[in-house]
Structure 1
Amino acid sequence: MPNARRGEIEAEIGGSRRRLVLTLGALAELEAHFEAGDLVELAERFGTGRLAARDLVAVIAAGLRGAGETITDHEVSRLAVAGGAAAYARIVSDLLTATFGGGEPVPAAAGEGGQAAPGGPFAGPPSPFPGTR
C-alpha cells in the first residue's frame, strides 16, 4: 500500500502494480529534463497542463526510480498501460498531485464558483513544506 504522506502512489504499469514516488533525487532529475531552475519553476511547468509523451515517460520513469526500481526511460516507454495515453496522463497527474498537492480550491482565495485561486501552483496560504505551495 502506498504511503500518501510520502507522496507515493501505485499504478498498474506493464502488467504489474508498481509504486511511484518523486524523491528529491527524482525531482532533481526532472529539473534537468525540463531545464527548470528550481522546484517552483518545475511546479509551474507542470501547472500548465502541457506535457509531451516524452515528458510523461520522464515523470513516470523518475517516479519508478524514486521508488527503487532500476529502469530506463526507454524501458518505461515500452511498458503498456490499460487505457492508453489517457491512463499515462492520469498516472502522471496523480503522481504530481501526491508530490506537490493542489487541485483543490483554496477557500480564502477561491474565485467565483469554487474555482482554484489565481496565481499558479503556489497561490493561497503557504505550505509547511518549502517549495510545494
Structure 2
Amino acid sequence: MDNPWSGVVSLDVDGTKRAMSLTLGALAELETTLGDDTLVSLVERFESGAFSSRDVLTLIVAGLRGGGWDISAADLIAADIKGGPMAAAKAAAQLLARAFLMPEERRG
C-alpha cells in the first residue's frame, strides 16, 4: 500500500492496514486544526525531532482522512496502532516528508 511516488504511507490501525495521504483537502484541514501554528513550523518540529504527540495525532488523522477514512482524533486516541507511538511517529514523519519532497528526494 505504501507508495512514495504518490505520497501514500500505510499504518495498521485496529488490525487493518490503512492508507494515509496528505491530499490538498487533508492539508487544508490540517492547517485549520493547527490554527495559528503553520505547516512550516510543523515540518521544522519533525526535522529537529521536537515534535509532540499532538503533532503526530494531528498528522495521522489528516492523513487517514486524506486516504479516505472518516476518522476523528477521538477515534484514533481509542484505537490500537500496530507498533505503538514509535510506529505512529515514524509514519507521521514519512507522511509529512512525502507530501513536500520530490520522489527522488524522499527517504523511506
Shorter-normalised TM-score: what interval?
Answer: 0.7 to 0.9
**Following the alignment from structure 2 to structure 1, what is the Cα–Cα distance between the partners of residues 16 and 71?**
14
User: Bigger radius of gyration, 1 or 2?
Assistant: 1
Q: What's the RMSD between the two structures over aligned residues?
A: 2.2
Is 1:15 matched with 2:15? yes
Instruction: Quote the offset at 1:89 in angstroms.
Output: 0.8
CA contact (8 A) 2:11 2:88 kept: no
Closer/same/farther in 2, CA of residues 87 and 9 from structure 1, 3 Å limit = same
Q: Which runs of 5+ in 2 are unaligned?
A: none
Higher RCO structure (Cα 8 Å, ≥6 apart): 2
**Structure 2 length-normalised TM:** 0.78
The aligned amino acid for 1:64 is L
String of CA shifts for 1:76-113, please: whole Å, max 9, x gaps. 11111232211111111121122123676xxxxxxxxx
| 1:26-45 correspondence runs (5 A) | 26-34=26-34, 35-37=36-38, 39-45=39-45
* Distance change >3 Å, CA 62–CA 51, structure 1 → 2: same
Any gaps of 5 or more consecutive residues in structure 1?
Answer: 105-133
Q: Is 1:69 equivalent to 2:69 in the alignment?
A: yes
Distance 1:29 1:46 in 2: 19
